[in-house]
Amino acid sequence: MYPDRVLSGMRPTGAMHLGHFHGVLKNWIKIQHEHECLFMVADWHALTTHYDRPQEIEAHVWDMVIDWLAAGVDPNQATLFIQSRVPEHAELHLLLSMMTPLGWLERVPTYKEQQEKIIDKDLSTYGFLGYPLLQAADILIYRANRVPVGEDQVPHIEFTREIARRFNHLYGREPGFDEKALQAVKKLGAKKAKLYLELRNRYTEQGDDEALEAARALLGESQNLSVVDRERVFGYLEGSGKMILVEPQAMLTEASRLLGLDGQKMSKSYNNTIALREDEASVTRKIRTMPTDPARVRRTDPGEPNRCPVYSFHQIYSDDATRDWVQQGCRSAGIGCLECKQPVVDRVLEELRPIRERAQAYLDDPTLVRNVIADGCERARKLAADTLRDVRESIGLSYS
């Protein structure tokens, strides 16, 4: 039904905060209605950097999933699962590792950066070097063609594409490719299928490039093929047929970035967050005590919103009229900072109220969340097993 398949994942960092909500979750909640979506808890990825403290991971997993659900990720629309419960990822990771050049891993920018940045633990491990390959396996095992990620993850998606290309190049044709492609062609409908086959003949037998173009255009406007079938039909047309794994595209979100309380990136390690389940008194106090433009020492000093962390909240939460009121009031010292913060307090509390209530329902009955995940893992495993079967066969590992 949906031609696109989306996969995304997050490492289990525990309870989510407003930065996650505006930067990631709101986007997931939107696209779950537009595409087939799989959302994964990347717990093995957490182990690559927290292998010395694995005890924390479990609680973080459940806290994170509760917040996904409370924020509005809908298990009837999307598949929610935990990476380590789908061991097929590990087998694909292993098989891909055989053909992954070390240099490709060493050149992934996050590798050196993280190693230099994280000094409190030893990251010269096999698992840490393999982080992007594990991520590639996460994506490729579902033949996901779209991966919503932040800017920092783009090199990992690029790396995944290269791995897919290398795999397809090495292991060539899907077993039974011609029959599968012809089955897929039938799904175009009788008329289009006939035209496609005619054009394909003209191209393959007479080298007619116009026929190739026409066939491509024909496929371009056919919406009723799955991703896999579409690739088969394209591959059959050009005689390549090399498409066991699908090359994914990064889906960059123009994330409305909410900064932290102090104006830096919102992050637990900076201690500048508002958690989705934080109680009202604490949220109110945190916003009321937020730093403002340092130039506004006294109430009578004019300020500059662009130098004030509170204004970055107004940019997310306030309408034009309120923002005008802030700009004028701040620059003319017409309003006080507490006055300026009140609409933000109101909006944030309003936004968090239903989220906190939904989270409470999941906290009261933990089996709800366990069931959502059990279900999602089962669905994910089926999809993963299909790809893995083709991968094993194409390498020649399906002994019978």
3-state secondary structure of 7: strand
Q: Report if residue 348 touches ligand SF4, rule: CB under 6 A.
A: no
CB of 348 to ligand SF4, least distance (A): 14
Contacts with ligand TRP, 23-62, as mask; x by CB under 6 A: -------------------x--x-----------------
Distances (CA, A) of 89 to 84, 123, 154, 227: 8, 22, 20, 20
The correct pick among 13, 100, 153, 168 for binding ligand TRP (CB under 6 A) is 153
CB of 126 to ligand TRP, least distance (A): 17
What torsion do the CA atoms of 213, 215, 220, 223 make, to the nearest 10 degrees? 180
Closest CA to 250 of 159, 182, 368: 159
CB of 326 to ligand SF4, least distance (A): 5
7 binds, among ligand TRP, ligand SF4, none (CB under 5 to 8 A by kind): ligand TRP
Q: Which residue's CB is nearer to ligand SF4, number 258 or number 340?
A: 340
Q: Report if residue 149 touches ligand TRP, rule: CB under 6 A.
A: yes
Closest CA to 42 of 146, 139, 182: 139
Closest CA to 70 of 389, 364, 270: 364
Q: Which residue's CB is nearer to ligand TRP, number 148 or number 329?
A: 148
Q: Name the one residue in this structure whose structure tokens are 């009321």.
A: 288
CB of 300 to ligand SF4, least distance (A): 12
Write phi, then psi, for 80 (nearest 5 degrees). Answer: -105, 125
Q: Report if residue 9 touches ligand TRP, rule: CB under 6 A.
A: yes
CA–CA separation, 191 vs 185, rounded Å? 11
The number of residues that bind ligand TRP (CB under 6 A) is: 13
Write phi, then psi, for 7 (nearest 5 degrees). Answer: -130, 135
Residues 303-322 that bind ligand SF4 (CB under 6 A): 303, 305, 308, 310-311
DSSP-derived secondary structure for 8-60: EEE---SS-BHHHIIIIIHHHHHHTTTSEEEEEE-HHHHHHHHTT-THHHHHH
Q: Which residue's CB is nearer to ligand TRP, number 145 or number 292?
A: 145
3-state secondary structure of 318: coil
266 binds, among ligand SF4, ligand TRP, none (CB under 5 to 8 A by kind): none
Q: Which residue's CB is nearer to ligand TRP, number 139 or number 391?
A: 139
Residues found near ligand SF4 in the complex (CB under 6 A): 292-293, 296, 303, 305, 308, 310-311, 326, 330, 335, 337, 340-341
